[in-house]
Structure formats: C-alpha cells, structure tokens
Structure 1
C-alpha cells in the first residue's frame, strides 16, 4: 500500500503544470503545508476574488441585512485585492496570466446559489463563505510563508489579516439561524 501511495504521489509531481498544478489542484500541497507556485497562487487568489464578488452580489439581492453588510464588505475587499494583485503582476512584469473566470467548482456553487431564495440562499451563502474564506486563509498563509516571488509573498502576508477577519465574520454568520 505504501508503495502505491508513493508511486501515486510521484506521478502527480511529474505531471506538467497547466493553469493550476496537479499538486495544488488535488489539495496535496495544502495537506502538507507546501507553498503553491506563484502561478497557482495568482490563479487561486484571482478566482477566489471573482467568486467572492459574484456570490456576494447575489447576497445583496437575496439576503438579510446582516448578510448584506457582510456581502458588501466582501465585494469591497475582494475588488481591492483583485486590483492590488493585478497591479503587482503588471509592475513587476511577472509572467502569469490572470484567469478570466471562476473555477468549475466555484461556478457550480454560484449556479446552486442562483437557484435559491430566502433562508435557503442565506444558509448556502454562509456555508460557501466559510469554505471560500478557509481556503483563502490557507492559500495566503502557505504562499506568505514559502512563496517564491518576494513582492507577492509580502502582499500575501499583508492581506492575510483581512482574510482571517473575513473567515471570523463568515463563521459568526454561519452560526446564526437565517432570518
């Protein structure tokens, strides 16, 4: 069994990188606390921002006042982090292409949210926010601790407290019953 696991991991490492490396996409890097490549970090940070903004715009239309306040904060903060990341990449001439759409998993979550209204929407949005912000905190911590591009690494560290605050806020909302 151990040989199988080692062989599987070796094959994953040997797979060439595409838009997101297999190690990052599979979650193995996260499990072992390994920093993503700069390309993976940028891709995940950018698609995360797009998901946060898109889902939060829906929340502004469909949810209670507390959730709307949180959603507006997510829109404001993630619009800013998107602009900051784009500027960092341009100013440092980092050879990374920013994605133009969310991942298929994020699109599935958005599609499910689109079909919901009222309390069902609010509960699902809260749960999605906990998941998205947990993933973002993990991503930014790993890159901030071990990323290979100094300026982006510093930006990840600087941005992390905001993302941790988002996660705390999302957890509080997720514990409250939908109204």
Structure 2
C-alpha cells in the first residue's frame, strides 16, 4: 500500500514534466529544429535532463513529507522547495517542448533516491527532523555540482545558460538547508530572493 502511494505520488509529480505536446519515447534523443532537420542530443545532455528531473521529483516528494511531519521551519522550507522545484520542472519542460526534444524523461525516482525517500518516509519525530535536513543539504550540494558542471561543460547553449542561471537559487536553497541544520530543523526559513 505504501509503495503504491509513493509510486502514485511520483507519477503525479512526473506528469507535470511528462505531459508534453511532443511524443515522449525511449528512442534515441533528438532535437527537431524548425527546418525539420534532426540534431542529436548528446548523452551528457540527456543524462543532465534525467538527473535534473529525478532531483526535482525527489525534492517535491520529500517536501510533501516535510509538510506532514516536519517542524514549522521545515514546513516553510518545504513550501519553498515545492514552489522553486516546481518552477525548475516547468522551465525544463518548456525547454524540452520548445526544443521538441524527444527524450525519455524519468517518471519515478531512481533506486538511490527511492531508498532515501523510503528512509525518510519511515522516520518519525526527531529522526525525521534530522534526516530531512541532512538529505536537503546533501541534495542541494549535489544539485549545485550537477548544474555547475553542465553550465561549464554542457554542449547545448540554451540549457547551459539555464543551468548557470539556476545555480544562484540552488545555492540559496543550500544556505536555507544549512540554517535548518545548524538549528536542528528549527531555524526560520530565510525570505525569498
């Protein structure tokens, strides 16, 4: 029952990304230009898009848990994560739609993120408070590295620019998570930037 609820939650979150006017398939990724010529999407770009999608799915799923079980400060942080990661998911979706990228977009967490989600879902009280905060610090450190790496080395100019422009928000999220960590999950969430 719990697995079914998690799967339904992940599928619902992924639907925001996957409901594209173009067909989403498992075929090799291509980018259809206005001239009708197909441009290959590199494996690195495809991997970046997939990792961002999984990262956003994880942020959104764990934020929903924090809304139900977290401290007041964690709930404020979770609301911010839902707003901001919902925004990055929508921006990535627009990028895919505008570029008419035919890519297999994940609709559920990978095994590593599912394991982290399951651990958080099974935690209660102070254990939940500590684990949610630790996961958020780790997730945002990883996201910053992912986005900075693509911004520096990616092969799609528009996606590189988007990655670079997203890094400051991710760094702000990290600062917010670190403030929660220093205060044992009780810090007030910083104001929006």
Shorter-chain TM-score range: 0.7 to 0.9
Residue 152 of structure 2 corresponds to residue 145 of structure 1: yes
Runs of 4+ in structure 1 over 4 Å off: none
Deviation of 1:138 (Å): 0.2
Whole-angstrom CA distance in 1 between matches of 2:72 and 2:64:
13
Paired residues in the alignment total 145
Higher helix share: 1
* Deviation string, structure 1 residues 120-163 (Cα, Å, up to 9, x no partner): 10100000001100000000001011110111111111111101
Deviation of 1:178 (Å): 4.3
TM-score (norm 1): 0.77
Give the root-mean-square deviation of aligned CA atoms.
1.4
Whole-angstrom CA distance in 2 between matches of 1:43 and 1:111:
21
Whole-angstrom CA distance in 2 between matches of 1:144 and 1:109:
27
Residue 122 of structure 2 corresponds to residue 93 of structure 1: no
Counting only pairs closer than 5 Å after superposition, residues 19-168 of structure 1 correspond to structure 2 as 37-168=44-175
- In structure 1, runs of 5+ residues without a counterpart are 1-18, 20-35
Alignment check: 8 A CA contact 1:119 1:178 kept: no
- In structure 2, runs of 5+ residues without a counterpart are 1-25, 27-42, 187-193
TM-score (norm 2): 0.72
Compared CA separation, residues 93 and 114, structure 1 to 2 (3 A)? same
Whole-angstrom CA distance in 2 between matches of 1:142 and 1:152:
12
Higher strand share: 2
